[in-house]
Every structure is written in structure tokens, then in C-alpha cells.
Amino acid sequence: MEKELLIEGLAAALDHKKQLQLETLAKHAVTEFPDDAFGYSYLAEALALEVPARLPQAEVCLAKATDIEPKNVDYLIRFAELKDMQGKFEDAQIIWGKVLKVKPDHVHALLALGSYQIQFFQDYASGIEYLNKAIAIDPVQAECHLFRAEAHIGLQNYEAALEDVQKVLQNGFDEVAMLLQINALDLLGRGAETFLLYEKLIQHLPNDYTHTFNYGQVLFSAARFEDAVEQFEATIRHQEKEEPMYYFALGEAALYALQLDKAIEAFENVLQLDKDDDECALLLIEAVIAKKEYKEAIKLSKALAKKSKDDQSTYERALIQEGVALLFNEEFDKAEAVFTPIAKKKGLRQPDAYYGLGMLYHQQGKNEPAYQFMRAASRMNHPLAGKYIEINMQPYLETIKATILEQNAKNIAVNQESAFVKNIENKLWRFADLESARLSGLTPAIVANVKESMASITMVVSPTGLLVLSGDGVEMTTYKIKKEAGSGAVLQVQPLDGAPAYKAIVKYKDGKITFSREDNEVMHLAVQDPKTAPQAVLENVKKYALPTTIAFLGKEAVALLTSLK
């Protein structure tokens, strides 16, 4: 058969995907024209069309074709594509590089090399360099903009990523572009703007319930719990097989939305599918407590504690839940017996036990131990303790403060006449440095971080007391002078919330003071001009130094701190 006729037949067979005919003709071409590349190229296509595809053999044929015609761009492109199809990405990049040597403006090769740098090496800058060249040649190439957006996100250039994505979306809906847009907006802290995008995804892809589930998670994170419930319910209605993950998400959202029956049903479904999901069992108990079915909650907590005795964390969490249920069921002695052993030993659940005991004593009208346990829980960063004190215990704290100041009235009168106090009163003292045995052995970088974290500490002293502001709170105390010299004094310091008193050694020299309340630890403070106070100090004053908080210091201190606001 003449070469021209043979090539026409090969082309027609490939166009119509006639695999057997294509393979027969290609083998004939290889036999008749062994030094020509076309036969090997068509044989590669025939092998790729076979079911299942014989890609390694097709690759061998294309390798022969490119050996014969090393500058044939079509052969090189197809060879690189076959490598990609088999996951041989590094080999593919070498061949794409050969394409560029023959044709430097080949957009597909530039895209392939750029995307490879981004996806496999996270070399975003190199990837963008390839993609910029491709976009300069073909500005409407969507894939180039999508991969460049991905690279910009990797480099934290989120606004640039949004610009690339928008160029794709202006031509119509694109799932990948929209997901990249959602990602960039989330990273910019603009999560609320993603809601409409999720709704568009769901509208365009009504059968892809991955987006429905993800939208539910986003709504949950935004505390839109009722809306999250709707999305999770839609996911569950269309799931191909029952997935515990979907029921768990529904249960958690329903719990926070106070749709308690729905939450309990969802958690029970999870446990039917996975009886060892202890996290779900704990949330089920929480939902039952919220429904005020305390006896059932006690029963479930005991069962979970028995089941998980070898898992210390789950065991103690189950006991905490039992204690809460007992507390709300007004079985105070039993609740105390559950909380106390956990409160006595250090561990992850200690703040929960402190919080439980705080609630227990508060409900019994025992305000002093209630506050001390709540205060301990708050200092250990329990998420609810601070708010509990703020909402429920302010009248008690005001009474305690008034009592302590009244008891210290004679000492305050002495403080007013103190030469030492007159040197340091009603000035804004800022943190300058820290000497502490606890810093020894730490690296200079860690020591610097510790000191930087204390940089917002501010102290104001008056004859009435001390006010200490820091990044994580405010401490009000009164004091009496135990021993005084011209350069310093030993103070007996009493917090105004009834916390235990402590001694502090305070020294004054050359416009600076040192404050030490522990052995081998000295905090240095220097006078801060209110007009040039750092932003961190100003923010703390705005956050914590309210007039009602600082009034006890006296008129001069009130005027000083109010001027900063």
C-alpha cells in the first residue's frame, strides 16, 4: 500500500475510534516503513484505545517515534501526555521541556510545567513564572489562571488569587474557580462572603452533596446552627450509604441550635453505625442534659465511664458529665464526690472539675468557695468560667471588695503619709524587663518571646491599692506596708476578689521600680509618658480599666487612666 493511502486510512480509523483497524494498519506501517515515525505514532494511539489501555506499550511506540523525529512537537506532546496518564510526572516534565525547546511559545507545555512546580514542589514563584508566559500568549486560557490563583494562595497573595479567579468566572460558572475563590476569601477572613458562593455551587451541581456538607460546616463555624442543620439534613437525605460523619455533624449543629430531639436522634444513629465513637457518646450525654433528662444522662455517663476505664481522658470526661447531671438533679453531695478527685489532680479535666464545683457551690449559696473554684477554672482558660463570673458573681465581688477595703482603711491612711508611696503613686508604670530563675536554660529567642508577651503589662499605684493591667486581664489589689525604707518597701498585698494575700518587695530608684512577689524573680518597670504610651497599653486600658474598676485607686489615678482612653 502506498504511504499516502496508508496514512489516510490510519487517520480515518483514528477519527472513528476503530481500534482493531487502526492497530492492523499501524502494524503494517511499522513493517513497511520502519524508518518512518508515523507508524509508531499511530500504533501508540491504537494501544491507548484498547480496553483496557496498554499505555506502557504505547509509550514505547512514541519513544521510537520521537527518536526518529525528535523535533516533532505533536509526537512530543502525546508522549508527555502518556507519561502524565501513567503518573510518571517527572518524566513528563522532561518531555514538556523538550516541547518548549522546539516551540518556546507552546501554551500547553508552559501550563504543564507551571502546574507541576505548583502541585508537586510547592515552588509557587517558578510556577507563576511559567504561567505568566502562557497567559501573555493566551490571556483567556482558564487553566492557567486557575493554577496561578492556586500559586498566589500558596504565597498568601489572596487578592491576586481572587483577580485570577474572577477572570475565569466572568465567562460563566466554573467549579474549581469557585472553590479557589471560597478558599481565598476564607483566608482573608471574609468567610461570610462565601455563603452565596456555596449556594451557587449547590444550584449548579445539585447532585454533588460534598458542597452541601461543606456549606453546612461553614455555617456551623459561623454559629448559624439552624442553617447548618438544614444543610446536613439535605446531605443525609441524599447520601448513597449511611455515613457516621454526616450524622455527627447534624447532631452537633442541632445541639447548638437547641433542637435537642434531632440532636439525640443523630447521635444515636452515629452510635448504631460506630458503637466505639466516644466523642459522640459524650455529646449525646450533653444533649440529654440540655433536655433536662438528668437521670438518663447519669445512666449514660456511668455506662460510658465503665466502658472507657482504660482511656483516662474519656473516662474523666464521662465522670464530669455525670457530675453535671447530678448537679442539675440537685444531688449535690454525689456531684461533689465526682468532681473533687478530678479537681485534686493535675490534668486536662481539672478546669472542668473546678468549673463544676464552682457551679455546685454557687447553686448552694456558698459564694466564697464558688468564686475561688470559678476563678481557678478561669485562670486555666476554661471557656465558660469567666463569663459565669461576669454574669452570676458580680454582686458577691462588689461586696468582697468593699469589705476588704473597709478592713484595710487604717493601713490606707498610713500609706497616704508614706514618703515611698509618694514617689511612685499615680504614675503609669510600664514593663521594662524581667529577671527570673525560670528563664535560665531557655534559648535567647524564647526568653525574648516571654518578655515580648509581657510588654503590655502596666501598673498604677495609689495609697489605696495597685492596678495591674496585662494582655489577659486586670488585677486589683489593696496593700499595707509591712516594712519601709527610703528606697523600697515590703508590702502585704490583698487581691480585692478575696484571693489569698501575698508579699511583694518593691524598690524605687532613679524613676524606676522593681516589683518582686516570688523568690528569684524581679519585674522591672519604668515610668511611661501617657502621651506616648504604646498601642498595646492603650488597648489594655480601653479593654479593662473601666471607671468602676479603677475608682478605688483615687481621683488622681482615675484622671490618669481616663486620659488614656
Band (385; pLDDT cuts 50, 70, 90): very high
Q: What is the pLDDT of residue 424?
A: 92
Is residue 391 scored above 80 in pLDDT? Answer: yes
**Which CATH topology does 410-564 take?**
Lipocalin (2.40.128)
Q: Is the pTM here over 0.85, yes or no?
A: no
Q: What is the pLDDT of residues 289-316, one digit of tens each?
A: 999 999 999 999 999 999 999 999 999 9
CA–CA separation, 255 vs 251, rounded Å? 6
Q: What is the DSSP letter of 498?
A: S
Is residue 473 scored above 80 in pLDDT? Answer: no
Task: Using the structure block, give the residue that is written with the C-alpha cell 480509523.
Answer: 13
Task: Using the structure block, give the residue that is written with the C-alpha cell 480599666.
Answer: 545
Mapping DSSP to helix (H, G, I), strand (E, B) and coil, where does residue 523 land? strand
Closest CA to 95 of 111, 103, 83, 105: 83
Closest CA to 151 of 199, 175, 183, 193: 183
Q: What is the pLDDT of residue 565?
A: 64
Q: What is the pLDDT of residue 556?
A: 79
Is residue 344 scored above 90 in pLDDT? Answer: yes
Q: What is the DSSP letter of 431?
A: E
| Cβ atoms < 10 Å from Cβ of 177 | 22
Q: What is the pLDDT of residue 334?
A: 97
Type of residue at 292: K
Q: Tell me the mean pLDDT in the region 505-510.
A: 92
Q: What is the pLDDT of residue 548?
A: 67
Q: Tell me the mean pLDDT in the region 493-503.
A: 92
Query: Phi-psi region for residue 429, left (φ > 0), alpha (ψ -120 to 50) or beta?
Result: beta
CA–CA separation, 370 vs 358, rounded Å? 4
Q: What is the pLDDT of residue 531?
A: 81
Is residue 549 scored above 80 in pLDDT? Answer: no
Closest CA to 278 of 261, 262, 300: 300
Q: What percent of the chain has pLDDT over 90?
A: 78
Q: What is the pLDDT of residues 231-276, one digit of tens each?
A: 999 999 998 889 999 999 999 999 999 999 999 999 999 999 999 9
Q: Tell me the mean pLDDT in the region 380-401.
A: 92
Domain ranges of the chain: 410-564
Mean pLDDT of the chain: 92
Q: What is the pLDDT of residue 255?
A: 97
163-172, 352-361, 422-431: segment of lowest average pLDDT: 422-431
CA–CA separation, 421 vs 464, rounded Å? 10
Band (356; pLDDT cuts 50, 70, 90): very high
Cβ neighbours for 373, distance < 8 A, ≥ 6 positions apart: 343, 354, 355, 357, 358, 361
Closest CA to 538 of 492, 471, 476, 485: 471
CA of residue 489 relative to chain centroid, distance = 46
Is residue 537 scored above 90 in pLDDT? Answer: no
Q: What is the pLDDT of residue 1?
A: 62
Is residue 560 scored above 90 in pLDDT? Answer: no
Phi, psi torsion values for 469, nearest 5 degrees? -105, 140
Q: What percent of the chain has pLDDT over 70?
A: 99
Q: Tell me the mean pLDDT in the region 139-155.
A: 95
Cβ neighbours for 531, distance < 8 A, ≥ 6 positions apart: none
